[in-house]
Chain A
Amino acid sequence: MEATSNNQSRRQFFLDVAKAACGIGMFGLGLGLYARQARALPPTAIRPPGALAEADFQGACIRCGMCVRDCPYNILELARPEDDLATGTPYFVARKIPCEMCEDIPCVKACPTGALDHKLTDINKAKMGLAALVDQETCLNFLGLRCDVCYRVCPVIDKAITLERTHNVRTTKHTMFLPTVHSEHCTGCGKCEKSCVLEVAAIKVFPINLAKGALGEHYRLGWEEKQKAGASLVAPEIEHQYNLPEGYKYEQGPGLSGEAVPPAAAQPAVPKALHGDQL
């Protein structure tokens, strides 16, 4: 008799445990999947300077808003539940109000957990995001004008954004000054995007993983390898064999004589930030 009631209470106990574990487990699964979705940063949301990589950031940021408070320009906001990024985490939108790149980086100092990495002490080394000239069809400089605003406002002028000169094929007698972003120096502050004079900015700042391409691990740039080695890696250096179309021949220096313009000679100048197959 006692054994049966013991069995029954044990049975009840296991049932209760199973019930709770299943219910909470289901809820946890849903929450976990939701969290995975929220881990992708939307393209317009830029993290403050020194922010860890997004996956690490979401484990390190405790959503206290200290960075928001210590930003002297009030550019930072904490994400609300309806926003597309992890609730309560700080971000700014460059087109609305860009980072002023304070030299003492108060937002990083304010962070109690190191979600904004305290090792960042030089704001010029910040990598909040990466600017990319995404629309060459509307960029005024690409249309042959001298807007230059993104270049002028860049806090790292002539390093993060340069104006690369190229021939204006349309007018045949002008030079185009193409704003070109260099990821090595771009901090992602967003000043260029903010100041772009167009209705919708042609140059935009994106989280780095969206804006930056990557060469294959195995890929080597021949000219760099040559420089490193101090000499050609292929010895003896093979003389280039030209397979010219019929009726073409090389005169002195680079250039072909003939009727048509061969495609190899008309390489369009493409901003360096756009190299690779994706923005």
Chain B
Amino acid sequence: MSENKKIGADALMTKGWLGAHRWLLLRRASQLGILALFLLGPWAGLWLIKGNLAYSLTLETLPLADPYVLLQSLLTGHVPERLALIGAALVIGLYVVIGGRSYCSWVCPLNMLTDLAAWLRRRLGIKGGAHFSRNTRYWLLAMTLLLAAATGTIVWEMLNPVAMLHRGIIFGLGMAWSIVLAVFLFDLFVSPDGWCGHLCPVGAFYSLIGKASLLRVSATQRAACNDCMDCFAVCPEPQVIKPALKGQAKGIGPLITSHNCTNCGRCIDVCSKDVFGFASRFNNKAEVSAPQGGATALGNRS
């Protein structure tokens, strides 16, 4: 990336606006669509889904529960009723397949705001800020679980901006907007990708569920990489890209195996050389670099 060029300009030239925003648009459609489904009830009286991301019942039959909040509840010593357990098992099953942090990029409503903060950061050229370990989120995760066990209360839910925003939009926001705004401003001015990439214990929990997930992003055409660095610039977890993209010499496969990849697909969009695509976990041979090698890579436009 040369200094005076916009990130993703090459992709725009070669793939057109739609092609360079394909996964982003799909992702926003997913995030907004899920939110809209939840809002159909209270706004239009059409109760396809009741509840919120902590627990919901779809069409009065399909239970889905957030395994993270349920784990905290279990740690307080409460054994939940069957429906919540089934719901949590279904959600775990889903994210074991599609990648835990797909929750972050395809479902979480707060992600749209932190993405906006990251985009503004790039547009306004806000550089630097507080840097701290991305592992802080796992410390926070441990702390929330420990607190639940120690106090007998699901303490984290009193502050959790993710749950607060989603519940707030559906049931009434109250002062929850201030906490959401705080997260946005923190990401914008204090720390790049501060919330989603460093702190959020919800994302940390889901990353652990998706540790061995089937669906991954793969740099199948990494031989075509022209080192423009655009993927690193847009990626909310840029540390996950390097081993896959630059690991050929070390015999590392092209698959992004880190559980903190959010499967957002922004790298696929922004790459003018179509290096990246979605792939299955089992498609990770280091020597794959032939142009037709991306048979399972959904994102490739060959």
Contact = CB atoms under 8 A, between A and B. Distances in A.
A159 interface: no
Most buried by A among B51, B152, B163, B173: B51
Most buried by B among A16, A34, A69, A86: A69
Interface in B117-162: 133, 135-136, 139-140, 142-144, 146-148, 150-159
B50 A66 contact: yes
A35 B77 contact: no
Interface string A43-69: 000000000000110111111111011
Contact of A65 (B52, B80, B140, B158): B52
Contact of A111 (B70, B81, B148, B179): B81
A59 B78 contact: yes
Contacts of A32: 147, 150-151, 155
B81 A64 contact: no
A216 B267 CA distance: 70
Interface residues of A, number: 45
B174 A66 contact: no
Interface in B30-75: 41, 47, 50-52, 54-57, 63, 65-66, 69-70, 73
Given A32-B147, A64-B51, A112-B87, 10 more contacts: A35-B151, A35-B158, A39-B153, A55-B152, A80-B174, A80-B176, A86-B158, A112-B63, A112-B80, A112-B81
B175 interface: yes
Interface stretch (B164-172, B184-192, B215-223): B164-172
B142 to A, nearest CB: 8
Contacts of B57: 66, 112
Contacts of A55: 152-153
B159 A31 contact: yes
10 contacts: A24-B142, A35-B151, A58-B153, A62-B154, A64-B52, A64-B54, A68-B171, A87-B157, A88-B158, A113-B73
A69 B51 contact: yes
B83 interface: yes
Contacts of B80: 60, 62, 112-114
Given A16-B133, A32-B151, A62-B157, A56 B175 contact: no
Interface string A191-214: 000000000000000000000000
Contacts of B56: 64
Contacts of A63: 52, 54, 69, 154, 157, 163, 167
Contacts of A64: 51-52, 54-56, 65
B136 A20 contact: yes
A112 B173 contact: no
A20 B135 contact: yes
Nearest to B167: A88
A211 B263 CA distance: 54
Contact of A27 (B73, B81, B143, B172): B143
Contacts of B163: 63, 88
The 9 A-B pairs of least Cβ separation, nearest first, read A80-B174, A59-B76, A64-B55, A113-B80, A112-B84, A60-B78, A82-B175, A35-B155, A28-B143
B107 to A, nearest CB: 15
Contact of A87 (B66, B79, B87, B158): B158
Nearest to B155: A35
A66 B175 contact: no
A38 B158 contact: yes
Contacts of B142: 24
A88 B168 CA distance: 9
A58 B154 contact: yes
B73 A82 contact: no
Contact of B147 (A28, A38, A70): A28
